[in-house]
Homo-oligomer: A and B are copies of this chain.
């Protein structure tokens, strides 16, 4: 069995985890990215440089790569590509290739912070109040339903890019004419948690649920985290999964506030902090291989040690003779 991972970027350790698990079943991991210097490309069994995901030829390239390497399953590591791939699930399936992605509607809801809060709110799930209308914000500030500081961020952003904290009405009004692609939220003062889940593709049940406190962030990613088990959080995530019905690996961010846990973000893919779960034996990679082999995964919840700290650090690699960019070659 060969698996293709697209938009691999810097996620070397995840690609290595796939490589190591696939070796056990005589399979290979094929990595693709539009940038020939993406570090993770150079740790796969094979790599190909493809066009950017917004290039019209992208899906055709992907199909050709799948054919060339007899791919059984595809998964992507970045949000914008989830939406794209969700459109082509059936087309790929016709060729015997399974795309590990949640339904298009789920993927698009999760990518949009406003839609996320709307769907959570409509199902009574605790979430951060999220505004797209500045008049509503002003109104709620006036009646005391909302307080400064506020957080303004892109509706569809990631990696903590473009996040601004706003302390006064004057500062808020600067955004008056540019709120279309922004959301406004109260600043939440609470311990942040991350939960990595694997939703079995056949049973649609969360067979793994790994909970961690985030103890240090860096460039929008969790730099240090500590494993925890919390029954309230577990129940909240189970309710969320029941409502959302996603599949495969999924990563959920939460805050613990005075009023309990609130959900702040959902990423229906491998989260940047997944490796903590993996190092503690929550092997989603093996789950994927099982599912692609037609095997249903059994419940593995909470079978991990608490209070283990995961730290991230930088490693380096020298690369030469990179493959040319996709625009210069034809497959």
Contacts and interface: CB of A to CB of B under 8 A. Distances in A.
A68 interface: no
Nearest to A305: B320
A236 B219 CA distance: 34
Interface extent on A, as a size class?
20 to 34
A245 to B, nearest CB: 30
Most chain B CB within 10 A, of A37, A38, A312, A314, is at A314
Contacts of A309: 37, 318-320, 322
Contacts of A38: 311
Interface string A303-329: 000011111111111111010000000
Majority DSSP secondary structure for residues of A touching B: mixed
Nearest to A315: B315
A58 B255 CA distance: 36
Interface stretch (A133-141, A199-207, A272-280, A289-297): A272-280
Contact of A313 (B39, B218, B320, B322): B39
A67 interface: no
Contact of A311 (B219, B276, B316): B316
Interface in A224-280: 224, 275-276, 279-280
A40 interface: yes
A319 B313 contact: no
A13 interface: yes
A40 B313 contact: yes
Given A37-B224, A219-B218, A224-B37, A310 B318 contact: yes
Given A12-B314, A13-B316, A37-B309, 9 more contacts: A10-B312, A12-B313, A13-B315, A37-B311, A218-B219, A310-B317, A311-B319, A313-B316, A313-B317
